[in-house]
Structure 1
Protein backbone atom coordinates (compact mmCIF):
# COMPACT_ATOMS: atom_id res chain seq x y z
CA UNK A 1 0.00 0.00 0.00
CA UNK A 2 2.81 2.41 0.92
CA UNK A 3 4.58 1.65 -2.38
CA UNK A 4 1.35 2.34 -4.28
CA UNK A 5 0.94 5.71 -2.53
CA UNK A 6 4.56 6.60 -3.32
CA UNK A 7 4.01 5.66 -6.97
CA UNK A 8 0.88 7.82 -7.21
CA UNK A 9 2.61 10.77 -5.51
CA UNK A 10 5.58 10.43 -7.84
CA UNK A 11 3.31 10.37 -10.88
CA UNK A 12 1.46 13.49 -9.71
CA UNK A 13 4.77 15.28 -9.16
CA UNK A 14 5.97 14.36 -12.65
CA UNK A 15 2.73 15.58 -14.20
CA UNK A 16 2.93 18.86 -12.23
CA UNK A 17 6.59 19.37 -13.20
CA UNK A 18 5.83 18.69 -16.85
CA UNK A 19 2.91 21.14 -16.74
CA UNK A 20 5.03 23.83 -15.07
CA UNK A 21 7.82 23.40 -17.61
CA UNK A 22 5.31 23.54 -20.46
CA UNK A 23 3.80 26.74 -19.08
CA UNK A 24 7.22 28.37 -18.75
CA UNK A 25 8.36 27.28 -22.21
CA UNK A 26 5.31 29.05 -23.65
CA UNK A 27 6.84 32.42 -22.64
CA UNK A 28 7.95 33.96 -25.94
CA UNK A 29 8.34 37.48 -27.24
CA UNK A 30 9.01 38.98 -30.67
CA UNK A 31 10.32 42.50 -31.27
CA UNK A 32 8.26 44.89 -33.35
CA UNK A 33 9.14 47.08 -36.31
CA UNK A 34 9.99 50.10 -34.15
CA UNK A 35 12.68 50.26 -31.51
CA UNK A 36 11.48 49.44 -27.99
CA UNK A 37 12.71 52.31 -25.77
CA UNK A 38 15.29 51.49 -23.10
CA UNK A 39 15.33 53.55 -19.91
CA UNK A 40 18.29 53.14 -17.53
CA UNK A 41 18.28 54.87 -14.16
CA UNK A 42 21.49 55.00 -12.14
CA UNK A 43 20.44 55.43 -8.54
CA UNK A 44 21.38 54.71 -4.93
CA UNK A 45 19.64 54.34 -1.60
CA UNK A 46 22.37 56.58 -0.17
CA UNK A 47 21.57 59.51 -2.48
CA UNK A 48 19.05 62.06 -1.14
CA UNK A 49 18.09 63.30 -4.62
CA UNK A 50 17.37 59.79 -5.95
CA UNK A 51 13.93 58.95 -4.40
CA UNK A 52 11.97 61.25 -6.78
CA UNK A 53 13.65 59.53 -9.74
CA UNK A 54 12.86 56.10 -8.25
CA UNK A 55 9.20 57.13 -7.86
CA UNK A 56 9.07 58.35 -11.46
CA UNK A 57 10.49 55.04 -12.65
CA UNK A 58 7.74 53.14 -10.83
CA UNK A 59 5.18 55.16 -12.79
CA UNK A 60 6.49 53.60 -16.00
CA UNK A 61 4.80 50.29 -15.21
CA UNK A 62 2.64 49.16 -18.10
CA UNK A 63 4.49 51.22 -20.70
CA UNK A 64 6.09 49.59 -23.73
CA UNK A 65 9.72 49.92 -22.74
CA UNK A 66 12.65 48.18 -21.11
CA UNK A 67 13.00 49.92 -17.74
CA UNK A 68 16.04 49.27 -15.52
CA UNK A 69 17.18 50.69 -12.18
CA UNK A 70 20.93 50.14 -11.88
CA UNK A 71 21.87 50.71 -8.22
CA UNK A 72 25.46 51.89 -7.73
CA UNK A 73 27.65 51.61 -4.64
CA UNK A 74 29.77 54.75 -4.58
CA UNK A 75 27.38 56.33 -2.04
CA UNK A 76 27.95 53.48 0.42
CA UNK A 77 30.83 55.37 2.06
CA UNK A 78 28.27 57.66 3.75
CA UNK A 79 27.22 54.82 6.04
CA UNK A 80 24.41 53.00 4.24
CA UNK A 81 25.24 50.04 1.98
CA UNK A 82 22.82 49.71 -0.94
CA UNK A 83 22.06 45.98 -1.10
CA UNK A 84 21.13 46.19 -4.79
CA UNK A 85 24.39 47.77 -5.92
CA UNK A 86 27.20 45.91 -7.70
CA UNK A 87 30.52 47.13 -9.14
CA UNK A 88 29.35 46.04 -12.61
CA UNK A 89 26.62 48.68 -12.52
CA UNK A 90 29.16 51.42 -11.89
CA UNK A 91 31.36 50.08 -14.70
CA UNK A 92 28.41 50.31 -17.07
CA UNK A 93 27.59 53.83 -15.92
CA UNK A 94 31.18 54.89 -16.60
CA UNK A 95 30.90 53.43 -20.10
CA UNK A 96 27.62 55.30 -20.66
CA UNK A 97 29.35 58.47 -19.45
CA UNK A 98 32.18 57.93 -21.95
CA UNK A 99 29.73 57.38 -24.82
CA UNK A 100 28.03 60.66 -23.89
CA UNK A 101 31.34 62.50 -23.40
CA UNK A 102 30.46 63.43 -19.82
CA UNK A 103 33.20 64.51 -17.44
CA UNK A 104 31.86 62.48 -14.49
CA UNK A 105 29.15 60.12 -13.30
CA UNK A 106 26.28 61.17 -11.06
CA UNK A 107 22.99 60.08 -9.52
CA UNK A 108 20.22 60.11 -10.33
CA UNK A 109 21.17 59.72 -13.96
CA UNK A 110 18.54 58.71 -16.50
CA UNK A 111 19.57 57.36 -19.89
CA UNK A 112 17.22 56.88 -22.85
CA UNK A 113 18.37 54.56 -25.65
CA UNK A 114 22.00 55.10 -24.64
CA UNK A 115 21.79 58.91 -24.46
CA UNK A 116 22.05 60.95 -21.26
CA UNK A 117 18.53 62.17 -20.40
CA UNK A 118 19.09 65.13 -18.10
CA UNK A 119 15.46 66.31 -18.30
CA UNK A 120 13.94 62.93 -17.50
CA UNK A 121 10.28 62.65 -16.63
CA UNK A 122 6.87 62.00 -18.11
CA UNK A 123 6.03 58.98 -20.21
CA UNK A 124 8.47 57.08 -22.38
CA UNK A 125 5.65 56.72 -24.90
CA UNK A 126 5.99 60.46 -25.54
CA UNK A 127 9.37 59.92 -27.22
CA UNK A 128 9.46 59.77 -31.00
CA UNK A 129 9.26 56.27 -32.46
CA UNK A 130 12.32 55.07 -34.37
CA UNK A 131 12.66 52.00 -36.60
CA UNK A 132 14.57 49.16 -34.98
CA UNK A 133 17.93 48.18 -36.46
CA UNK A 134 17.64 44.55 -35.37
CA UNK A 135 14.97 41.95 -34.78
CA UNK A 136 14.83 39.84 -31.63
CA UNK A 137 12.93 36.65 -30.93
CA UNK A 138 13.02 35.46 -27.29
CA UNK A 139 11.99 32.03 -26.02
CA UNK A 140 12.01 30.44 -22.59
CA UNK A 141 13.39 26.92 -22.88
CA UNK A 142 12.88 25.83 -19.29
CA UNK A 143 13.10 27.02 -15.70
CA UNK A 144 15.33 30.12 -15.83
CA UNK A 145 16.73 29.18 -19.25
CA UNK A 146 16.30 31.52 -22.21
CA UNK A 147 17.37 31.80 -25.82
CA UNK A 148 17.18 34.75 -28.20
CA UNK A 149 17.78 35.03 -31.93
CA UNK A 150 19.12 38.44 -32.98
CA UNK A 151 19.24 39.55 -36.61
CA UNK A 152 20.56 42.99 -37.67
CA UNK A 153 18.59 44.74 -40.41
CA UNK A 154 19.55 47.22 -43.13
CA UNK A 155 21.14 50.30 -41.62
CA UNK A 156 22.65 48.54 -38.62
CA UNK A 157 26.28 49.34 -37.73
CA UNK A 158 29.05 46.93 -38.68
CA UNK A 159 29.13 45.46 -35.17
CA UNK A 160 26.56 45.10 -32.42
CA UNK A 161 26.62 44.12 -28.78
CA UNK A 162 24.00 43.07 -26.25
CA UNK A 163 23.30 42.54 -22.59
CA UNK A 164 20.71 40.69 -20.53
CA UNK A 165 19.08 41.91 -17.34
CA UNK A 166 16.59 40.55 -14.89
CA UNK A 167 14.59 43.33 -13.23
CA UNK A 168 12.24 42.85 -10.29
CA UNK A 169 9.47 44.96 -8.75
CA UNK A 170 8.10 45.50 -5.26
CA UNK A 171 11.17 46.09 -3.09
CA UNK A 172 11.37 48.43 -0.11
CA UNK A 173 14.02 49.51 2.40
CA UNK A 174 14.01 51.33 5.71
CA UNK A 175 17.21 53.33 5.45
CA UNK A 176 19.11 53.64 8.73
CA UNK A 177 22.07 55.85 7.77
CA UNK A 178 23.46 58.16 5.13
CA UNK A 179 21.63 60.98 3.35
CA UNK A 180 18.31 59.09 3.40
CA UNK A 181 18.46 58.06 7.06
CA UNK A 182 14.94 57.46 8.40
CA UNK A 183 13.35 57.25 4.93
CA UNK A 184 11.23 54.32 3.71
CA UNK A 185 12.13 53.78 0.06
CA UNK A 186 10.24 51.76 -2.55
CA UNK A 187 11.82 50.35 -5.68
CA UNK A 188 10.64 48.83 -8.95
CA UNK A 189 12.54 47.60 -12.01
CA UNK A 190 15.55 46.83 -9.79
CA UNK A 191 18.35 45.20 -11.81
CA UNK A 192 19.01 41.94 -9.98
CA UNK A 193 21.15 40.40 -12.73
CA UNK A 194 23.22 42.03 -15.47
CA UNK A 195 25.13 39.92 -18.00
CA UNK A 196 27.05 41.10 -21.05
CA UNK A 197 26.37 39.02 -24.17
CA UNK A 198 29.44 39.90 -26.25
CA UNK A 199 30.14 41.72 -29.53
CA UNK A 200 29.15 40.41 -32.97
CA UNK A 201 29.55 41.28 -36.65
CA UNK A 202 26.37 42.41 -38.35
CA UNK A 203 25.09 39.93 -40.91
CA UNK A 204 21.53 40.45 -42.11
CA UNK A 205 21.52 36.98 -43.68
CA UNK A 206 22.10 35.08 -40.42
CA UNK A 207 20.68 35.26 -36.93
CA UNK A 208 22.92 35.09 -33.86
CA UNK A 209 21.79 32.83 -31.03
CA UNK A 210 22.23 34.18 -27.49
CA UNK A 211 21.72 31.88 -24.49
CA UNK A 212 20.99 33.07 -20.96
CA UNK A 213 20.53 31.41 -17.58
CA UNK A 214 18.76 33.71 -15.18
CA UNK A 215 18.67 33.81 -11.42
CA UNK A 216 15.74 31.94 -9.88
CA UNK A 217 12.38 33.63 -9.93
CA UNK A 218 11.30 35.24 -6.65
CA UNK A 219 7.64 34.52 -5.77
CA UNK A 220 7.35 37.89 -4.01
CA UNK A 221 8.83 40.10 -6.72
CA UNK A 222 7.41 40.06 -10.27
CA UNK A 223 10.23 40.07 -12.78
CA UNK A 224 11.05 41.01 -16.33
CA UNK A 225 13.70 39.33 -18.48
CA UNK A 226 15.26 41.89 -20.84
CA UNK A 227 17.66 41.80 -23.77
CA UNK A 228 19.12 45.05 -25.10
CA UNK A 229 20.99 45.17 -28.42
CA UNK A 230 23.16 48.24 -28.94
CA UNK A 231 25.97 49.83 -30.95
CA UNK A 232 29.23 49.16 -29.02
CA UNK A 233 30.80 52.34 -30.47
CA UNK A 234 28.09 54.77 -29.35
CA UNK A 235 25.90 52.88 -26.86
CA UNK A 236 22.84 53.68 -28.98
CA UNK A 237 20.03 51.14 -28.67
CA UNK A 238 19.38 49.16 -31.85
CA UNK A 239 16.50 47.08 -30.48
CA UNK A 240 15.32 45.63 -27.18
CA UNK A 241 12.83 43.17 -25.80
CA UNK A 242 11.21 42.51 -22.43
CA UNK A 243 9.15 39.59 -21.21
CA UNK A 244 7.45 38.86 -17.86
CA UNK A 245 8.85 35.31 -17.83
Structure 2
Protein backbone atom coordinates (compact mmCIF):
# COMPACT_ATOMS: atom_id res chain seq x y z
CA UNK A 1 0.00 0.00 0.00
CA UNK A 2 2.79 2.39 0.94
CA UNK A 3 4.61 1.52 -2.29
CA UNK A 4 1.48 2.34 -4.33
CA UNK A 5 1.06 5.69 -2.53
CA UNK A 6 4.74 6.54 -3.07
CA UNK A 7 4.47 5.70 -6.78
CA UNK A 8 1.39 7.91 -7.10
CA UNK A 9 3.14 10.78 -5.32
CA UNK A 10 6.20 10.46 -7.60
CA UNK A 11 3.98 10.43 -10.66
CA UNK A 12 2.14 13.52 -9.40
CA UNK A 13 5.45 15.29 -8.74
CA UNK A 14 6.62 14.54 -12.28
CA UNK A 15 3.33 15.85 -13.72
CA UNK A 16 3.57 19.05 -11.67
CA UNK A 17 7.20 19.55 -12.70
CA UNK A 18 6.37 19.09 -16.39
CA UNK A 19 3.40 21.44 -16.07
CA UNK A 20 5.53 24.14 -14.44
CA UNK A 21 8.23 23.74 -17.07
CA UNK A 22 5.76 24.06 -19.92
CA UNK A 23 4.14 27.06 -18.24
CA UNK A 24 7.49 28.79 -17.85
CA UNK A 25 8.34 28.14 -21.48
CA UNK A 26 4.96 29.47 -22.56
CA UNK A 27 5.41 32.62 -20.47
CA UNK A 28 8.90 33.13 -21.89
CA UNK A 29 7.65 32.87 -25.46
CA UNK A 30 4.79 35.31 -24.81
CA UNK A 31 6.76 37.82 -22.73
CA UNK A 32 7.96 41.05 -24.24
CA UNK A 33 11.38 40.79 -25.80
CA UNK A 34 12.20 44.25 -24.46
CA UNK A 35 11.80 43.05 -20.86
CA UNK A 36 14.93 40.91 -21.23
CA UNK A 37 17.17 43.69 -22.54
CA UNK A 38 19.45 44.82 -19.71
CA UNK A 39 23.20 45.28 -19.50
CA UNK A 40 26.10 46.68 -21.53
CA UNK A 41 26.51 44.03 -24.21
CA UNK A 42 25.00 43.58 -27.65
CA UNK A 43 23.41 40.88 -29.74
CA UNK A 44 23.52 40.21 -33.48
CA UNK A 45 20.74 37.92 -34.69
CA UNK A 46 21.41 36.53 -38.17
CA UNK A 47 18.35 34.75 -39.56
CA UNK A 48 18.77 32.47 -42.58
CA UNK A 49 15.40 32.18 -44.28
CA UNK A 50 13.63 31.78 -47.63
CA UNK A 51 10.30 32.58 -49.24
CA UNK A 52 10.30 29.01 -50.55
CA UNK A 53 10.33 27.49 -47.05
CA UNK A 54 6.94 26.90 -45.38
CA UNK A 55 8.56 26.81 -41.92
CA UNK A 56 10.13 30.26 -42.33
CA UNK A 57 7.21 32.74 -41.99
CA UNK A 58 6.93 32.22 -38.18
CA UNK A 59 10.65 33.01 -37.87
CA UNK A 60 10.22 36.14 -39.99
CA UNK A 61 7.34 37.19 -37.72
CA UNK A 62 9.41 36.59 -34.59
CA UNK A 63 12.28 38.66 -35.97
CA UNK A 64 9.78 41.45 -36.72
CA UNK A 65 8.59 41.27 -33.10
CA UNK A 66 12.16 41.54 -31.87
CA UNK A 67 12.77 44.51 -34.14
CA UNK A 68 9.66 46.34 -32.87
CA UNK A 69 10.37 45.75 -29.21
CA UNK A 70 14.13 46.32 -29.24
CA UNK A 71 13.79 49.92 -30.43
CA UNK A 72 17.14 51.67 -30.22
CA UNK A 73 18.70 49.01 -27.97
CA UNK A 74 21.91 47.26 -29.20
CA UNK A 75 19.99 44.42 -30.85
CA UNK A 76 20.94 44.01 -34.51
CA UNK A 77 18.66 41.86 -36.65
CA UNK A 78 19.85 40.67 -40.06
CA UNK A 79 17.74 38.51 -42.35
CA UNK A 80 19.60 36.60 -45.08
CA UNK A 81 17.53 34.98 -47.83
CA UNK A 82 19.40 31.87 -48.99
CA UNK A 83 19.22 30.55 -52.55
CA UNK A 84 19.11 26.76 -52.10
CA UNK A 85 15.29 26.83 -51.98
CA UNK A 86 15.07 28.59 -55.35
CA UNK A 87 14.78 25.35 -57.34
CA UNK A 88 11.79 24.11 -55.33
CA UNK A 89 9.12 25.94 -57.32
CA UNK A 90 9.65 29.54 -56.25
CA UNK A 91 12.62 31.85 -56.66
CA UNK A 92 13.03 34.20 -53.71
CA UNK A 93 13.66 37.70 -55.11
CA UNK A 94 15.85 38.51 -52.11
CA UNK A 95 17.97 35.37 -52.29
CA UNK A 96 21.72 35.51 -52.75
CA UNK A 97 24.23 32.64 -53.03
CA UNK A 98 26.64 34.62 -50.86
CA UNK A 99 24.22 34.28 -47.95
CA UNK A 100 24.00 30.50 -48.43
CA UNK A 101 27.79 30.44 -48.39
CA UNK A 102 27.83 32.44 -45.15
CA UNK A 103 25.43 29.97 -43.56
CA UNK A 104 27.58 27.01 -44.60
CA UNK A 105 30.64 28.73 -43.15
CA UNK A 106 28.82 29.16 -39.84
CA UNK A 107 27.75 25.51 -39.92
CA UNK A 108 31.38 24.46 -40.31
CA UNK A 109 32.54 26.67 -37.43
CA UNK A 110 29.67 25.71 -35.12
CA UNK A 111 29.54 22.05 -36.19
CA UNK A 112 25.87 22.52 -36.93
CA UNK A 113 23.48 21.49 -39.67
CA UNK A 114 22.34 23.84 -42.42
CA UNK A 115 18.58 24.41 -42.37
CA UNK A 116 15.92 27.11 -42.52
CA UNK A 117 14.89 28.96 -40.51
CA UNK A 118 18.15 29.15 -38.58
CA UNK A 119 19.40 31.95 -36.33
CA UNK A 120 23.09 32.47 -35.51
CA UNK A 121 23.79 34.65 -32.46
CA UNK A 122 26.97 36.77 -32.35
CA UNK A 123 28.64 34.12 -34.52
CA UNK A 124 28.76 31.79 -31.49
CA UNK A 125 25.56 29.73 -31.24
CA UNK A 126 22.57 28.76 -33.35
CA UNK A 127 18.96 27.65 -32.95
CA UNK A 128 15.69 27.29 -34.87
CA UNK A 129 14.61 30.77 -35.94
CA UNK A 130 10.99 30.41 -34.77
CA UNK A 131 11.93 29.43 -31.20
CA UNK A 132 10.77 32.41 -29.12
CA UNK A 133 12.20 31.09 -25.84
CA UNK A 134 15.63 30.59 -27.40
CA UNK A 135 15.40 34.07 -28.91
CA UNK A 136 14.60 35.63 -25.53
CA UNK A 137 17.47 33.79 -23.90
CA UNK A 138 19.90 34.80 -26.66
CA UNK A 139 18.99 38.46 -26.31
CA UNK A 140 19.23 38.41 -22.53
CA UNK A 141 22.61 36.64 -22.64
CA UNK A 142 24.03 38.96 -25.28
CA UNK A 143 22.94 42.17 -23.62
CA UNK A 144 24.09 41.06 -20.16
CA UNK A 145 27.62 40.53 -21.49
CA UNK A 146 30.16 43.11 -22.63
CA UNK A 147 31.67 43.90 -26.03
CA UNK A 148 35.34 43.03 -26.63
CA UNK A 149 35.60 45.96 -29.03
CA UNK A 150 33.65 49.09 -29.81
CA UNK A 151 32.73 50.23 -33.30
CA UNK A 152 31.46 53.59 -34.53
CA UNK A 153 30.30 54.37 -38.07
CA UNK A 154 29.45 57.74 -39.52
CA UNK A 155 28.15 57.92 -43.06
CA UNK A 156 27.59 60.39 -45.85
CA UNK A 157 25.85 59.50 -49.08
CA UNK A 158 27.51 60.55 -52.32
CA UNK A 159 25.23 59.59 -55.17
CA UNK A 160 25.22 55.80 -55.61
CA UNK A 161 27.91 55.37 -52.94
CA UNK A 162 28.18 55.81 -49.21
CA UNK A 163 31.31 57.11 -47.53
CA UNK A 164 31.76 55.62 -44.06
CA UNK A 165 34.19 56.78 -41.40
CA UNK A 166 34.88 54.02 -38.88
CA UNK A 167 36.51 54.08 -35.46
CA UNK A 168 37.26 51.01 -33.37
CA UNK A 169 38.78 50.26 -30.00
CA UNK A 170 40.15 47.03 -28.57
CA UNK A 171 42.13 44.20 -30.10
CA UNK A 172 41.36 43.90 -33.82
CA UNK A 173 44.21 41.69 -35.06
CA UNK A 174 41.97 39.07 -36.68
CA UNK A 175 38.86 41.20 -37.16
CA UNK A 176 37.26 42.21 -40.43
CA UNK A 177 34.74 45.01 -40.88
CA UNK A 178 31.49 43.79 -42.40
CA UNK A 179 28.95 46.30 -43.71
CA UNK A 180 25.37 45.10 -44.15
CA UNK A 181 23.01 47.28 -46.21
CA UNK A 182 19.58 46.45 -44.87
CA UNK A 183 16.08 47.03 -46.24
CA UNK A 184 13.85 47.48 -43.21
CA UNK A 185 10.55 46.14 -44.59
CA UNK A 186 9.06 44.40 -47.61
CA UNK A 187 5.81 42.64 -48.48
CA UNK A 188 5.72 40.03 -51.22
CA UNK A 189 3.04 37.79 -52.73
CA UNK A 190 4.12 34.20 -53.28
CA UNK A 191 2.67 32.55 -56.38
CA UNK A 192 4.28 29.11 -56.29
CA UNK A 193 6.16 26.73 -54.02
CA UNK A 194 5.47 25.76 -50.41
CA UNK A 195 4.06 29.21 -49.57
CA UNK A 196 1.88 29.50 -52.66
CA UNK A 197 -0.98 31.98 -52.21
CA UNK A 198 0.49 33.63 -49.13
CA UNK A 199 1.50 37.26 -48.70
CA UNK A 200 4.72 37.35 -46.70
CA UNK A 201 6.12 40.24 -44.70
CA UNK A 202 9.86 40.55 -44.24
CA UNK A 203 12.03 42.77 -42.02
CA UNK A 204 15.73 43.61 -41.90
CA UNK A 205 16.50 42.09 -45.29
CA UNK A 206 20.22 42.12 -46.03
CA UNK A 207 20.51 43.34 -49.62
CA UNK A 208 24.29 43.65 -49.65
CA UNK A 209 27.08 42.40 -47.38
CA UNK A 210 30.54 43.82 -47.99
CA UNK A 211 33.78 42.91 -46.21
CA UNK A 212 36.73 45.24 -45.57
CA UNK A 213 40.14 44.67 -44.05
CA UNK A 214 41.11 47.03 -41.24
CA UNK A 215 44.26 48.48 -42.78
CA UNK A 216 44.15 51.22 -40.18
CA UNK A 217 42.99 49.37 -37.05
CA UNK A 218 41.87 52.37 -35.02
CA UNK A 219 40.11 54.46 -37.61
CA UNK A 220 39.73 54.91 -41.34
CA UNK A 221 37.34 55.52 -44.20
CA UNK A 222 35.69 53.15 -46.64
CA UNK A 223 33.31 53.56 -49.57
CA UNK A 224 30.43 51.16 -50.28
CA UNK A 225 28.20 50.65 -53.30
CA UNK A 226 24.50 51.19 -52.59
CA UNK A 227 21.73 49.02 -54.11
CA UNK A 228 19.62 50.75 -56.75
CA UNK A 229 16.52 50.58 -54.55
CA UNK A 230 18.27 52.23 -51.60
CA UNK A 231 16.58 55.16 -49.86
CA UNK A 232 17.64 56.83 -46.64
CA UNK A 233 14.31 56.40 -44.85
CA UNK A 234 13.54 52.75 -45.60
CA UNK A 235 17.01 51.29 -45.15
CA UNK A 236 19.82 51.20 -42.61
CA UNK A 237 23.50 50.31 -42.52
CA UNK A 238 24.83 47.94 -39.86
CA UNK A 239 28.52 47.33 -39.21
CA UNK A 240 30.04 44.22 -37.64
CA UNK A 241 33.52 43.49 -36.33
CA UNK A 242 33.95 39.76 -36.94
CA UNK A 243 36.90 37.49 -36.28
CA UNK A 244 37.89 35.98 -39.63
CA UNK A 245 39.12 32.78 -37.96
CA UNK A 246 36.46 31.97 -35.36
CA UNK A 247 33.54 33.95 -36.90
CA UNK A 248 32.77 35.40 -33.46
CA UNK A 249 31.33 38.91 -33.70
CA UNK A 250 33.11 41.28 -31.32
CA UNK A 251 31.08 44.43 -31.87
CA UNK A 252 28.21 45.86 -33.90
CA UNK A 253 26.65 49.24 -34.55
CA UNK A 254 24.34 51.20 -36.84
CA UNK A 255 25.77 53.93 -39.00
CA UNK A 256 24.81 57.43 -38.00
CA UNK A 257 24.58 60.30 -40.44
CA UNK A 258 25.54 63.93 -40.26
CA UNK A 259 22.84 66.60 -40.20
CA UNK A 260 20.91 66.71 -43.42
CA UNK A 261 21.68 63.11 -44.39
CA UNK A 262 18.34 61.72 -43.21
CA UNK A 263 16.34 63.19 -46.09
CA UNK A 264 14.90 60.63 -48.48
CA UNK A 265 17.69 60.24 -51.04
CA UNK A 266 17.21 57.49 -53.62
CA UNK A 267 19.94 55.90 -55.67
CA UNK A 268 19.40 56.44 -59.38
TM-score, scaled to structure 1: 0.75
Q: State whether structure 2 residue 60 is matched by structure 1 residue 68.
A: no
Q: Secondary structure at the match of 1:76?
A: coil
Deviation string, structure 1 residues 131-165 (Cα, Å, up to 9, x no partner): 22222221123344131324341xx3631112111
Label 1:220 to 1:187 Cα distance change in 2 as closer, same or farther (>3 A).
farther
Residue 50 of structure 1 pairs with residue 56 of structure 2? yes
CA RMSD of aligned residues (A): 2.6
The structure with the largest alpha-carbon Rg is 2
Give the Cα separation in 1 of the matches to 2:223 and 2:232: 26
Extract unaligned runs of 5+ from structure 1: 1-32
1:72-129 CA deviation, whole Å, 9 max, x = no partner? 1101111100000011111111111111122x31110101100232154244642342
Aligned length: 207
Q: Which runs of 5+ in 2 are unaligned?
A: 1-38, 258-268
Q: Which piece of structure 1 moves more, 34-43 or 124-133?
A: 124-133
Matched, 1:131 2:141: no
Q: More deviation in 86-95 or 126-135?
A: 126-135
What SS does the corresponding residue of 2:196 show, helix, strand or coil? Answer: coil
Distance 2:116 2:198 in 1: 18
Q: Give TM-score scaled by structure 2 length.
A: 0.69
**Greater percentage in helix:** 2
* Partner residue, 2:117: 108
Which of 208, 222, 227 pairs up with 1:215? 227
**Residues 151 and 252 in structure 2, CA contact (< 8 A), matched pair in contact too:** yes
Residue 91 of structure 1 pairs with residue 108 of structure 2: no
